[in-house]
Chains A and B, each alone.
Chain A
Amino acid sequence: MNKPLRRVALAMMAMVLLLMANVTYVQVIQADDLRHGPGNGRTQRAEYAKQRGQIIAGGQSLANSVETGDELKFQRTYPNGPLYAPVTGFDSPTYGSNGIERAMDSILNGSDDSLAFNRLSDMITGRAPAGGDVELTIDPAMQKVAYDELTSKGFQGSVVALNPKTGEILSMVNSPSYDPSPLASHDNNVAAEHWQAMENADGSPMSNRSVSEIYPPGSTFKLITTAAALDDGYQPNSTVTDAASITLPGTSTKLPNYGGNTCKGNTLTEALAHSCNTAFAEIAGKVGADKLRETAAKFGFSNDLQIPMTVAKSDLGPMSDDASLYQSGIGQRDVRVTPMQNAMMAAAIANGGKLMKPQLVKSTRAPDMEVIDELKPEQMSQAVSSTVADQIRAMMLKSEQYTKGSGKISGIDIASKTGTAQHGDAADKPHGWYVAFAPAEDPKIAVAVIVENGGDEGAEATGGSLAAPIGREVIRAGLQGGG
């Protein structure tokens, strides 16, 4: 019987070898696919097993983790969710993450290299591992005012406010907004229901208008055209056309001023203050596409920017002929900006021409509150000379004087520019823009406001009537409110 016994031994070896070959295939070749397979909760559980750090602004907690009794140990909650949603983003077991939650993930979840020492000491001391905190530059008072101003009237739009000297982002508000808390629910159904509701809601509340949406800038773009002109030899009192309308070169299309009126002045200063289209169309034609593009780029157009979320690129479009150059000069045709870009433009002018990099993170801290990293102001470019900046500032002060709308602040000079951007909407309800900084002599706040589609005023809406009051309230909150 020994012969068959030996054969059985061989068969048994073959069986075990087969098992080994199979597990090798599963654990080596298939491993990566399996690790990330749908419904493999292991990676996620590891992620939620420890307490994620907080997102803080002005001493308030904007996002923190609470312990739950369920499988994923910690659940994210967002006090004042919709108010800060464009900043915090969400962290959802079902839908992943975005906003600061995504951009600062390695700090918040504690895996960042800068937290290596903390991880080690946690391991040695047996302390429960936790993520680091992220403190933001957001000013809660301004954030709240901006949000209330937009939402109380049911506007769709965005407000971005910057500290022109440091690039700190003081507010970043969207309307409509959404509550990130239900998305962070550990119950997939709750998250999915909320997600669907937000996807189907009017005005796409989950889109971060401040940095991800691009809009026609309308007359606010005239600031760039002005900067290009001044840089190109124009003076504030240089004579420009005051014609009620001009014909675009090479076409028979008429380009009129707002309301079809003759401009109430024929200097560059007057033209900006009264926002005369004809003058700026011609100026754009004179300085040329390259100069315009170059100036815009110095203000931040077409640049990659992380705040740390990625900011969509603002762009001038092709400007392939003179007609399109003329139209681009007044912020029409293919010119597109983010509210963030418009705020950067105002901030650069406010800061003597120096464009500071917008930043949202003030500091990062280890779980034991020790500061790991702090915001260092970074200059992105010298957009214009300080002389040109001062000249534009003076023009913007004048512009503010002619701008209607409520909310003017006594004792504080605001330098501003409005925009009313038509965008081929069926009913042609324009977007109302307001970019401003204050106090004009020592700017502490630069702001950009957009109210989409005529707000509550329809086709008659202007930047001055819609957006300016909001911008002024935000500035007031920043300068006087503080709480």
Chain B
Amino acid sequence: MSQPGTSAESTSGSNTASSGDTRRGTELFLLVCSAVIVTFALMLVEISQENTITRQLFIYGAAYLALFGGAHVAVRKWAPYADPLMLPLVALLNGLGLVMIHRIDIAKETEYAVRQIAWLTLSLILFALVLAFIKDHRVLAKYSFTCGFVGLVLLALPGLLPSAISEVNGAKLWIKFGPLGQVQPSEFAKILLMIFFASFLVSKRELFTTAGRKFLNVELPRPRDLMPMLVAWVAAIGIGVLEKDLGTSLLFFGIVLVMLYIATERAIWVVLGLSLFALGAVLAWQTVTRVQSRVNVWLDPLHHEDGYQLKQALYGLGSGGIGGTGLGSGSPETVPFSNSDFIITSMGEELGLIGLIAIFLMYLLLMMRGLRSALAVRDSFGKLFGGGLSFTVALQLFVVAGGVTGLIPLTGLTAPFLAYGGSSLLANYILIAMLLRISDAARRPQAPAKPKPQQAPIAEAHTELVERPR
């Protein structure tokens, strides 16, 4: 960041009002760059699939740019000081995801790309609305209990609804609206619950840091302080059992754990949380056949009878190798869910290790910019909320990418912005809007009513060199 004189992190007392550079120009330039990259990627797909290259392609590119241009205008208007990198990164990930979804559409003669574009449009509208209506993220803290309640209901709802309207591919995570489509309420619940947690933890921070009993030289928290974590643990297990989805369960518990750690600055929470997680994992592995199968597939993906998906995904990655087969020239469509859960391996096959690492770096950059905003923002709620949001992106990526590449057992989550999925897209754009809001607050110059020039006492003042008049 180029703010002269002072970094936004050392906030006390310094005056950053002099910096009028909001870097919105940089953002626009980067958006144009990502539009060029995405158009070029689309062109490669069309060439490889032996479709003709028409002017249509550039119209698509322009439409993409127009969509994100709209988002850029919203940022410029309502969050002018926000981080200039986050929106272009998200746009590029989303654009590449769209190209891959379109590419798999061609192979499978489906039409998911069009639907994804519709979701994207809706998402960007929502993105702008969030920026427009939430002028200050601290407002959210006031509604923390409402958010927590709604979040909990959304989270629990599919688990309680009959399978007929809530189960898709074996996970009871959905609410189906007949022909209109389906949404995954847990995607939204995670943001609402983060608001609740951030606010709750900030207000009760002191409680959690109160020392409890000492055991083996480690200060344990007081048993009653464990309650929120135990509740979260039980809830996570509940999701895992009721909704048959380990990914959401893992994500939910991971977020709680990390926010607890950030709020209390005590690593013991992480240790306790991970122990509880391990306990839950072992319990699940002992009792749930679905989990056993996932673990066995993970241990030997190429030979386990249930390992078809993962095996195909690994074959795809291997066939792609370092340089990839080239966009449109591989067979990512062989892998089930190649445009959603497994889009990471689709990318890995056609863009190779190089492309995949580039994608991981884009995510890393996005998370780091988010976390940086959390570091820079001045209020505790913002820090905690921002940290939670950033970590959510990281955990989602880790769980899904680790799962489909065989690093960890496979659980159902989608790669943010990249994968096909309306709910995920909507929720993640809201998430980014909120991160931008926090980042705007962090980088916004504190505007004192009247800048008071800090005049040193005359006696201590330096003599100033005055330029000779010409």
- Write the residues of chain A forming the contact surface with B, with a CB cutoff of 8 angstroms: 1-6, 8-9, 12-13, 15-16, 18-20, 22-24, 26-28, 30-35, 37, 39-43, 45, 126, 128
Known A37-B311, A42-B334; judge A2-B375 contact (CB<8 A): yes
Neighbour of A37 across the interface among B315, B321, B401, CB < 8 A: B315
Query: Does the CB pair A12–B314 fall under 8 Å?
Result: no
Q: Which of B265, B330, B331 has the most CB of A within 10 A?
A: B331
* New A-B contacts (18) at CB < 8 Å, excluding given A5-B371, A31-B319, A126-B50: A1-B263, A2-B383, A3-B265, A4-B261, A8-B261, A9-B368, A16-B363, A18-B402, A19-B397, A20-B360, A27-B348, A31-B318, A33-B318, A35-B318, A37-B318, A42-B316, A42-B319, A128-B50
Neighbour of A26 across the interface among B262, B374, B405, CB < 8 A: B405
Neighbour of B364 across the interface among A3, A12, A24, CB < 8 A: A12
Query: Does the CB pair B383–A1 fall under 8 Å?
Result: yes
Q: Closest residue to A26 on the B side, CB-wise?
A: B317
In angstroms, how far is the closest chain A Cβ from the Cβ of B108? 11
Query: Does the CB pair B371–A8 fall under 8 Å?
Result: yes
Measured between beta carbons, the chain B residues less than 8 angstroms from A28 are: 321-322, 353
Query: Does the CB pair B394–A12 fall under 8 Å?
Result: yes
Measured between beta carbons, the chain A residues less than 8 angstroms from B302 are: 37
Q: How far is the CA of A13 from the CA of B372 in the complex (A)?
A: 13
Measured between beta carbons, the chain A residues less than 8 angstroms from B387 are: 1, 4-5, 8
Q: How far is the CA of A42 from the CA of B311 in the complex (A)?
A: 13
Q: How far is the CA of A5 from the CA of B374 in the complex (A)?
A: 8
Q: How far is the CA of A37 from the CA of B313 in the complex (A)?
A: 12
Query: Does the CB pair A5–B315 fall under 8 Å?
Result: no
Tell whether B367 is near chain A: CB-to-CB under 8 Å: yes
Measured between beta carbons, the chain B residues less than 8 angstroms from A30 are: 314, 318
Tell whether B246 is near chain A: CB-to-CB under 8 Å: no
Q: How far is the CA of A6 from the CA of B384 in the complex (A)?
A: 12
Measured between beta carbons, the chain B residues less than 8 angstroms from A27 are: 317-318, 320-322, 348, 352-353, 356
In angstroms, how far is the closest chain B Cβ from the Cβ of A248? 60
Q: Which of A28, A31, A43 has the most CB of B within 10 A?
A: A31
Within 8 A of A (CB), among B231-283: 258, 261-263, 265
Measured between beta carbons, the chain B residues less than 8 angstroms from A22 are: 402, 405-407
Q: Return the CB mask of B299-327 against A: 1 if under 8 Å, else 0.
A: 00010000000011011111111100000
Q: Closest residue to A33 on the B side, CB-wise?
A: B318
Tell whether B357 is near chain A: CB-to-CB under 8 Å: yes
In angstroms, how far is the closest chain B Cβ from the Cβ of A122? 11
8 nearest CB pairs, A to B: A34-B318, A40-B315, A27-B353, A22-B407, A12-B394, A31-B318, A15-B398, A4-B262
In angstroms, how far is the closest chain A Cβ from the Cβ of B313? 9
Within 8 A of A (CB), among B395-436: 395, 397-398, 401-402, 405-407
Q: Closest residue to A127 on the B side, CB-wise?
A: B50
Q: How far is the CA of A442 from the CA of B467 in the complex (A)?
A: 115
Measured between beta carbons, the chain B residues less than 8 angstroms from A2 are: 9, 375, 383
Known A1-B262, A23-B348; judge A34-B331 contact (CB<8 A): no
Tell whether B391 is near chain A: CB-to-CB under 8 Å: yes
Measured between beta carbons, the chain A residues less than 8 angstroms from B371 are: 5, 8-9, 12
Q: How far is the CA of A28 from the CA of B331 in the complex (A)?
A: 19
Q: How far is the CA of A28 from the CA of B302 in the complex (A)?
A: 17
Tell whether B390 is near chain A: CB-to-CB under 8 Å: yes
Q: Closest residue to A128 on the B side, CB-wise?
A: B50
Tell whether B380 is near chain A: CB-to-CB under 8 Å: yes
Query: Does the CB pair A19–B318 fall under 8 Å?
Result: no
In angstroms, how far is the closest chain A Cβ from the Cβ of B153? 29
Query: Does the CB pair A16–B322 fall under 8 Å?
Result: no
How many A-B residue contacts, CB cutoff 8 Å? 137
Q: Closest residue to A9 on the B side, CB-wise?
A: B371
Known A1-B265, A34-B314; judge A16-B50 contact (CB<8 A): no
Query: Does the CB pair A32–B394 fall under 8 Å?
Result: no
In angstroms, how far is the closest chain A Cβ from the Cβ of B414? 16
In angstroms, how far is the closest chain A Cβ from the Cβ of B192? 21
Query: Does the CB pair B405–A16 fall under 8 Å?
Result: no
Q: Closest residue to B383 on the A side, CB-wise?
A: A1
Measured between beta carbons, the chain B residues less than 8 angstroms from A13 are: 364, 368
Known A16-B364, A19-B407, A39-B315; judge A31-B321 contact (CB<8 A): yes
Q: How far is the CA of A328 from the CA of B25 in the complex (A)?
A: 94
Neighbour of B311 across the interface among A4, A39, A43, CB < 8 A: A39
Q: Which of A5, A9, A18, A23 has the most CB of B within 10 A?
A: A23
Query: Does the CB pair B397–A26 fall under 8 Å?
Result: no
In angstroms, how far is the closest chain B Cβ from the Cβ of A116? 19
Q: Closest residue to A2 on the B side, CB-wise?
A: B375
Please name 21 pairs of A and B residues whose Cβ atoms are closer than 8 Å in the assembled complex, sorted by A. Answer: A1-B262, A5-B371, A6-B375, A8-B371, A8-B387, A16-B361, A19-B398, A22-B405, A22-B407, A26-B314, A27-B348, A28-B322, A33-B318, A35-B318, A37-B315, A37-B318, A40-B318, A42-B315, A42-B330, A43-B319, A45-B331
Q: Closest residue to B372 on the A side, CB-wise?
A: A9
In angstroms, how far is the closest chain B Cβ from the Cβ of A474? 48
Query: Does the CB pair A12–B367 fall under 8 Å?
Result: yes
Q: How far is the CA of A40 from the CA of B265 in the complex (A)?
A: 49
Measured between beta carbons, the chain B residues less than 8 angstroms from A3 are: 265
Q: How far is the CA of A148 from the CA of B9 in the complex (A)?
A: 93
Neighbour of A15 across the interface among B322, B348, B394, CB < 8 A: B394
Q: How far is the CA of A128 from the CA of B50 in the complex (A)?
A: 9
Q: Which of A6, A12, A28, A33 has the most CB of B within 10 A?
A: A12
Neighbour of A5 across the interface among B262, B322, B406, CB < 8 A: B262
Q: How far is the CA of A2 from the CA of B364 in the complex (A)?
A: 19
In angstroms, how far is the closest chain B Cβ from the Cβ of A186? 15
Measured between beta carbons, the chain B residues less than 8 angstroms from A42 are: 315-316, 319, 330-331, 334
Measured between beta carbons, the chain A residues less than 8 angstroms from B383 are: 1-2, 5
Known A18-B402, A42-B331; judge A5-B319 contact (CB<8 A): no
Measured between beta carbons, the chain A residues less than 8 angstroms from B314 are: 26, 30, 34, 37
Measured between beta carbons, the chain B residues less than 8 angstroms from A1 are: 262-263, 265, 380, 383-384, 387
Measured between beta carbons, the chain B residues less than 8 angstroms from A26 are: 314, 317-318, 405-406
Q: How far is the CA of A40 from the CA of B330 in the complex (A)?
A: 12
Query: Does the CB pair A16–B360 fall under 8 Å?
Result: yes
Q: How far is the CA of A95 from the CA of B376 in the complex (A)?
A: 64
In angstroms, how far is the closest chain B Cβ from the Cβ of A235? 70
Q: How far is the CA of A22 from the CA of B301 in the complex (A)?
A: 14
Neighbour of A12 across the interface among B311, B352, B361, B391, CB < 8 A: B391
Query: Does the CB pair A8–B258 fall under 8 Å?
Result: yes
Measured between beta carbons, the chain A residues less than 8 angstroms from B316 are: 42
Q: Closest residue to A40 on the B side, CB-wise?
A: B315
Neighbour of B319 across the interface among A4, A35, A128, CB < 8 A: A35
Q: How far is the CA of A252 from the CA of B61 in the complex (A)?
A: 96
Q: Closest residue to A12 on the B side, CB-wise?
A: B394
Q: Closest residue to B334 on the A side, CB-wise?
A: A41
Measured between beta carbons, the chain A residues less than 8 angstroms from B50 are: 126, 128
Q: How far is the CA of A130 from the CA of B357 in the complex (A)?
A: 35
Q: Closest residue to B333 on the A side, CB-wise?
A: A71
Measured between beta carbons, the chain B residues less than 8 angstroms from A6 are: 375
Measured between beta carbons, the chain A residues less than 8 angstroms from B361 are: 16
Q: Which of B9, B318, B407 has the most CB of A within 10 A?
A: B318
Q: Closest residue to A36 on the B side, CB-wise?
A: B318
In angstroms, how far is the closest chain A Cβ from the Cβ of B355? 10
Query: Does the CB pair B391–A8 fall under 8 Å?
Result: yes
Q: How far is the CA of A180 from the CA of B464 in the complex (A)?
A: 98
Q: How far is the CA of A325 from the CA of B402 in the complex (A)?
A: 72
Q: How far is the CA of A9 from the CA of B265 in the complex (A)?
A: 14
